[in-house]
Amino acid sequence: MASIAIHLVVVVTMLVSAVASESNMLQDICVADLSNAVKVNGCTCKDTTQVTPEDFYFQGLATAAAAANTSTGAIVTGATVEKLPGLNTLGLSVSRIDYAPNGLNPPHVHPRASEIIYVLDGQLYVGFVTTAGKLVAKYINKGEVFVFPKGLLHFQKNVARSAPASVIAAFDSQLPGTQSLVSSLFGALPEDILGKSFQFKPKQVKKIKSRYQPKK
């Protein structure tokens, strides 16, 4: 009996491991059912009889967004699974980033994806910071690309003072996530934590925190 029990445990363990390690798609498509609130590391699949070409189509990146109307002079238009349901389970997404003159896409991280950008127009100063604190940065121009490794703090800045700039960004995740450094810190953390971390006086912390409302 003991031998049978051991073999059973081994077989079950192998089956669980096989299921957990399955990385290939098990169907042709799995269009996200955005009406279903249940999420299990992704979206549930829409009934294939209800799939349409519109599930794989998005025109939101065709034109530049009004970056000048933002506080930092940059605006991101994302084509993730939330706007393009056909991306579900495919492990990729794309965005367009538009910059007003001197516009900045502030330091942020994508916790679930690496990113590669292609410059449509303009010249930008871009870079990322390694976990060792080293800045890896470069000026890039129209037609050139730059890569930001997964999870590392990075930024892009339009260096032109009179001309806009635009890039297309591709990600190896259907929903890469974005965590802005400044808004996350000053919008979420308590004042005493921020004061001690940055060696700011309480009045300084309050002044900065007043610009960033906490997320609910």
Ligand-binding annotation for 115, yes or no, is: yes
**SS3 per-residue string spanning 13-67:** HHHHHHHHHCCCCCCCCCCECCCCCCECCCECECCHHHCCHHHHCCCCCCCCCCH
Ligand-binding annotation for 24, yes or no, is: no
Ligand-binding annotation for 7, yes or no, is: no
Q: Which one-letter DSSP state was computed for residue 8?
A: H
3-state helix, strand, coil in the chain (%, to 5): 25, 30, 45
Residues sharing a CB contact under 8 Å with residue 49, sequence separation 6 or more, in sequence order: none
Cα distance between residue 133 and residue 141, in whole Å: 26
Annotated binding site for Mn(2+): 108, 110, 115, 154
Annotated binding site: 105, 108, 110, 115, 154
Annotated binding site for oxalate: 105, 110, 115
